[in-house]
């Protein structure tokens, strides 16, 4: 039976060594390689073609969130699990938005990691037990709309109470462009007013 080849990405050598030590105890896993930043990770993803990438979210220069988006664009079948020291729902939400297949806290046990890997390879979303979400919350997280970076910027400004003209001026874009983005956001969140949009986006951890 072919082992699951994993690429581990983290900018802290001790975390890399700790994760390698745990993964080497799992019989069906092979550590294909390690990377200290997103640029190395993208190169190794191309050359090694791992089944799964386990990446820190807080990477220097290019975050694990952006890395995940790039990996999923270039290699849609490649699985990604995000890692963080903190159980931050905003981070988790952004990772899932970028296409991640799971999330683990760095303090996760070998047993939990061993459970998570086959689940994500099987197409299921795995969220660390420490996330503390109930089944409905996890389901909502999976099905929340995917928004672009620009839409996220505009969403934050809407939440701050800015009008369309103020947003256009702040972002140096046309009023028509702002209006289009606002309409797209309302459509994606299936609502027709800004108050409901802000409430739904806050619940999803996007603002």
What is the pLDDT, as a whole number, of residue 140? 60
What is the pLDDT, as a whole number, of residue 188? 83
State the fold for domain 149-203. Arc Repressor Mutant, subunit A (1.10.10)
For residue 126, the cross-strand partners are: 102
pLDDT 10s digit of each residue in the chain, 207 long?
789 999 999 999 999 999 999 999 999 999 999 999 999 999 999 999 999 999 999 898 889 999 999 999 999 999 999 998 876 677 788 888 888 999 998 888 999 999 999 999 999 888 886 565 556 565 666 566 777 778 888 999 999 999 999 999 999 999 999 999 999 898 888 889 999 889 888 877 777
What is the pLDDT, as a whole number, of residue 71? 95
What is the pLDDT, as a whole number, of residue 181? 92
User: What is the Cα–Cα distance from 178 to 171, expressed in whole angstroms?
Assistant: 9
What is the pLDDT, as a whole number, of residue 61? 86
What is the pLDDT, as a whole number, of residue 91? 75
Q: What angle separates helix 89-97 from helix 64-74, to the nearest 10 degrees?
A: 20
What is the pLDDT, as a whole number, of residue 141? 63
Provide CATH code, domain 4-142. Answer: 3.40.50.2300
Q: Angle at the Cα of 11 (from 8 to 14), degrees rounded to 5?
A: 80
Portions of the chain given CATH number 1.10.10.10: 149-203
């Amino acid at each position: 039976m072919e082992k699951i080849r994993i690429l581990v990405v983290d900018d802290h050598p001790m975390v890399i060594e700790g994760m390698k030590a745990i993964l080497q105890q799992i019989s069906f896993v092979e550590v294909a390689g390690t990377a200290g930043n997103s640029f190395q990770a993208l190169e190794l993803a191309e050359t090694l073609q791992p089944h799964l990438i386990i990446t820190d979210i807080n990477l220097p220069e290019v975050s694990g969130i952006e890395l995940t988006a790039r990996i999923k664009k270039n290699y849609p079948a490649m699985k990604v699990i995000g890692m963080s020291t903190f159980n931050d729902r905003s981070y988790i939400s952004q990772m899932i938005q970028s296409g991640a297949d799971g999330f683990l806290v760095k303090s996760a046990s070998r047993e939990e990691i061993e459970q998570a890997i086959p689940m994500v390879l099987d197409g299921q979303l795995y969220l660390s037990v420490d996330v503390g979400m109930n089944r409905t919350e996890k389901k909502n997280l999976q099905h929340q709309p995917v928004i672009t970076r620009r839409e996220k910027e505009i969403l934050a400004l809407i939440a701050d109470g800015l009008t369309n003209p103020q947003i256009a001026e702040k972002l140096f874009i046309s009023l028509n462009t702002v209006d289009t983005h606002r309409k797209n956001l309302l459509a994606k969140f299936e609502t027709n007013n800004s108050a409901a949009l802000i409430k739904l986006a806050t619940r999803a951890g996007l603002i």
